[in-house]
């Protein structure tokens, strides 16, 4: 069954909930709430990657996330670390994180691949072309599915060459990253064409391309909160397509969607 990864942004400037969980106590309480609501694991990040976001130093990032990961681990909660920095990945795993989620797929820090290989943890490799200030300008594709497939394949080859077990690699198409609106939908519709048999993480939660899809009179599509029902629809479709996990803000809505799909699929198998 598709896993639910709850998003925990320990940042002042994330696009949907920046600043709400910047204090350690608030972040830990949110992590606990995500699990109570149905999350299987909590993805802890200390640097916003929204379009136009300014970078933070790895030292600042670690100061934000390590106390949170340590406390959540002490409570028996499975965590991942959302980072592009190898030093943060290492510190987070040493503090208890079970896997590394790198939106750059290891491109932002040349030491990431060897670090993950040494740590022996699963690695979420996302399709990525540039840092936040520049990524929208790189939404240029002749065939987005083929190009994402090939660019992810190159990352997998590099990771394996550095010693990361291929079975440990999860692929993420990077929805919203160098993909403003229309470029996202083919990647959702054709998961098997770019995933090449790897486990897949889908991270569509509240992203602007969903706002563009639901825009109509009376709907403020620029408000991330308005995109929650659309997120749940994508969660259901991703679960139906066999995604390993979905990364979401609302764990309860996602967990309900996943369980409905599971019940549907079970009934279909019995009838078949």
Selecting among 62, 64, 149, 207, the annotated active-site residue is 207
Under a CB-based contact definition with an 8 Å cutoff, are residues 160 and 189 in contact? no
Q: What is the DSSP letter of 82?
A: E
Token couple for 251: 């764990």
Under a CB-based contact definition with an 8 Å cutoff, are residues 89 and 116 in contact? yes
Q: At what angle do helices 86-95 and 58-74 cross, to 10 degrees?
A: 20
Selecting among 62, 168, 199, 247, the annotated active-site residue is 247
Active site residue 149: no
The span from the first CA to the last CA of the chain, in angstroms, equals 19
Active site residue 247: yes
Token look-up 């019995």 returns 270
- C-alpha 230/C-alpha 243 separation (Å) is 17
- C-alpha 105/C-alpha 126 separation (Å) is 5
Residue numbers annotated as active site: 207, 247
């Amino acid at each position: 069954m598709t896993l639910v990864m709850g998003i925990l942004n320990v940042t002042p400037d994330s696009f949907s909930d920046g600043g709400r969980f910047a204090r350690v106590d608030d972040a830990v309480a949110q992590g606990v709430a995500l699990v109570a609501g149905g999350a299987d694991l909590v993805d802890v990040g200390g640097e916003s990657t929204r379009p136009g976001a300014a970078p933070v130093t790895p030292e600042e990032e670690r100061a934000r996330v390590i106390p949170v990961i340590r406390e959540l681990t002490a409570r028996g909660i499975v965590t991942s670390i959302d980072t592009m920095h190898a030093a943060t990945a290492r510190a987070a795993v040493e503090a208890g994180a079970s896997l590394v989620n790198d939106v750059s797929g290891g491109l932002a820090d040349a030491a990431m691949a060897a670090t993950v290989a040494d740590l022996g943890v699963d690695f979420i490799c996302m399709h990525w072309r540039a840092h936040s200030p520049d990524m929208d300008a790189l939404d240029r594709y002749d065939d987005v599915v083929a190009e994402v497939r090939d660019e992810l394949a190159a990352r997998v080859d590099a990771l394996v060459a550095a010693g990361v077990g291929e079975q440990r690699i999860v692929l993420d198409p990077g929805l919203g990253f160098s993909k403003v609106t229309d470029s996202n939908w083919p990647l959702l519709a054709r998961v098997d064409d770019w995933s090449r048999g790897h486990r897949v993480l889908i991270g569509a939660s509240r992203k602007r391309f969903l706002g563009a899809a639901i825009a109509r009179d009376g709907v403020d599509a620029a408000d991330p909160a308005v995109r929650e029902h659309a997120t749940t629809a994508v969660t259901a479709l991703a679960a139906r397509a066999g995604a390993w996990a979905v990364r979401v803000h609302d764990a309860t809505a996602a967990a309900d969607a996943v369980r409905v799909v599971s019940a549907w699929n079970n009934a279909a198998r019995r009838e078949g």
